């Protein structure tokens, strides 16, 4: 999709989706802290590549909360605290 059409599409979408201005942070982002993050989502949240995220797991700096087959899921609170520690260092 060309960028001009994409901009117009998202402007239309947001103007219709957020007609009320009194949404709370929890109403908009409430489910984010409860849902586990997949490897690509966790890497994007931490602003690192997937191989870097996997190195964090292999070195024990980060632990998945659930492993399903070869897929790993990460807790949002764990990722948040890891990101804070990483940015403080």
Q: Where are the domains of the chain?
A: 3-88
What pTM does this model have?
0.63
pLDDT tens figures, 5-63: 878 887 777 776 666 666 676 666 666 667 889 999 999 999 999 999 999 999 999 99
CATH number of 3-88: 1.10.1660.10
Cα(44)–Cα(50) distance, integer angstroms:
8
In the prediction, which pLDDT does 55 show? 97
DSSP 6-51: HHHHHHHHHHHHT--S---HHHHHTTTTTSPBPHHHHHHHHTS-HH
């Amino acid at each position: 999709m060309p960028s001009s059409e994409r901009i117009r599409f998202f402007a239309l979408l947001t103007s219709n989706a957020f007609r009320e201005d009194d949404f709370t942070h929890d109403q908009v982002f409430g489910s984010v802290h409860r849902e586990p993050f997949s490897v690509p989502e966790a890497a994007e949240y931490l602003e690192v590549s997937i191989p870097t995220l996997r190195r964090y797991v292999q070195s024990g700096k980060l632990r998945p909360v659930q492993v399903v087959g070869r897929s790993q899921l990460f807790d949002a609170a764990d990722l948040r605290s890891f990101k804070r520690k990483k940015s403080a260092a």
